Amino acid sequence: MAAADKDEGGFCLVLHGHLPWVVHHGRWPHGEDWLYEAAAETWLPLLAVLDTCAREGIRPAWTLGLTPILLEQLSKRRFQDGLRHFLTDQAARARADAAAFPGTDLADLVPLALHWAERFERQLEAFDAIGGDLIGAFREHAVAGRIELLSSNATHGYHPLILHDACGRAQVRAGLRTSERHFGWRPRGVWLPERAYRPPSSWWPPAVHGLPRDVTGTATLFADEGVRFFFVDTHLVRGAKAEALVGEGDKTMPVSENQPEWDVMRGWRNELEPHRVVEAGRLLPLQVLARCPEVSEQVWSGKIGYPADGRYLEFHKRHGFRGLRYWRVTSSEADLGDKLPYDQGVISAAVHDQALHFCDLLKGRLRMHRDRTGRAGTVCAPFDAELFGHW
């Protein structure tokens, strides 16, 4: 968690990394190439940023989730050899484009083709420099305090639809053990698959016959294994039932049912406040942070957010079959055939301006919260890490 201003509050940037199991399941479009593209477009660039921070003495304090399924794939020799082949092939494709474009209507794209070739070649050098060990490289940054690593369920099991408590506990335990084996320690926090939470309840499974069954709440399953925080979506906090105030030493003070309606200074049901969870009358020793939608949509929305900026790289248009990307967004309404060439020269200005806007947005939300409650808040912005490799 990074401090926006110690008097105003903090900012928690959470990047979630997950891919389903694709090793030995073909190459393209939804096989191993999916994993290699994620490494080239997301994991290696993120690692490069962290390496730059390390050289410049910067502690970015991100939270980074690497699911057990992703960890197991990244640790395979097949992934390491496959990524080397992928990067070599992409560089060769780019150089072939640079040789083929002159004398055609794509001649202006030659510099960009050479840029892609050099980028893939640098990534291959960087990957070889760490011995193909992406997990170890991220682990080193975590040990240095630049990032905090998260775990998740063993097979990305979706808690609200897990039929038996024993299966839910197995997902949690096996996931944490897998993370511990790769990291060298058990993470304190987790990413709930799809950020999906289920309270303790009498549950009637939708796809099987039989009577309703009592199920344990999601938070209890994780708290019993030593997890101390996770993240949820906004509506779970805004629609929560406030049952008590929690003070020092976990002392609780019950509140009336309607107190959240009139006691606005408490910050009830506010996503800028960390929340505790009570399940089956038990105050659990973990914190829950909720997504701030006004901040998050600036980053992920292709309609009103930064990805809608016409200057950024168009993710969906490639040159030829399995080719490279040479065009820009142009307009979110533009047909792929109407996309204009990508211009690297204008991107630095776009990133700078939008970074300033994002910082102002964060500070504005934190000041609003402080003015309302008298307390410093925390803006939580969780994203799929792959999003940042798309534009």
Q: pTM of the full predicted structure?
A: 0.92
Q: Give per-residue burial for 51-82: e unless 16+ CB within 10 Å, then b.
A: bebeeeeeeebbbbbbbbbbbbbbbeeebbeb
3-state secondary structure of 267: coil
Q: Token digits for 3? A: 């401090």
pLDDT at position 1 over 60: no
Q: Which CATH architecture has domain 2-386?
A: Alpha-Beta Barrel (3.20)
Catalytic entry in 33, 297, 309, 384: 384
Read off the pLDDT of each residue in 263-285 and give the average, rounded to a whole number: 85
Answer whether residue 250 shows pLDDT above 80: no
Q: Which residues contact 214 (CB under 8 A, 6 or more apart)?
A: 200, 201, 202, 203
DSSP codes, 292-328: -HHHHHHHH-TTTSGGG-TTSBPSS--SSTT----BB
CA distance 108 to 122: 23
Predicted pLDDT of residue 2: 53
Please say if 384 is a catalytic residue: yes
| ω into 60 cis (within 30 of 0) | no
- Contacts of residue 208, defined as CB under 8 A and 6 or more positions apart, other chains included, come to 163
Q: Is 194 an active-site residue? A: yes
Overall size of the chain counted in residues: 391
Q: Where residue 243 falls among pLDDT bands split at 50, 70, 90?
A: low
Dist. CA 174–CA 162, nearest whole Å: 15
**Average pLDDT score, the chain:** 92
**Which of 81, 194, 214, 224 is an active site residue?**
194
- Residue 5 — pLDDT band, cuts 50, 70, 90? low
By mean pLDDT, which of 141-150, 271-280, 375-384 is the weakest? 271-280
Q: Which amino acid is at 321?
A: F
DSSP conformation class of 118: H
Per domain, the residue ranges of the chain are: 2-386
d(CA 289, CA 232): 6
Range from 265-274, 291-300, 369-378 carrying the lowest mean pLDDT = 265-274
CA–CA separation, 98 and 110 (whole Å): 5
Where on the phi/psi map is residue 194: left (φ > 0), alpha (ψ -120 to 50), or beta?
Answer: left
Q: In a 3-state reduction of DSSP, which class is residue 200?
A: coil
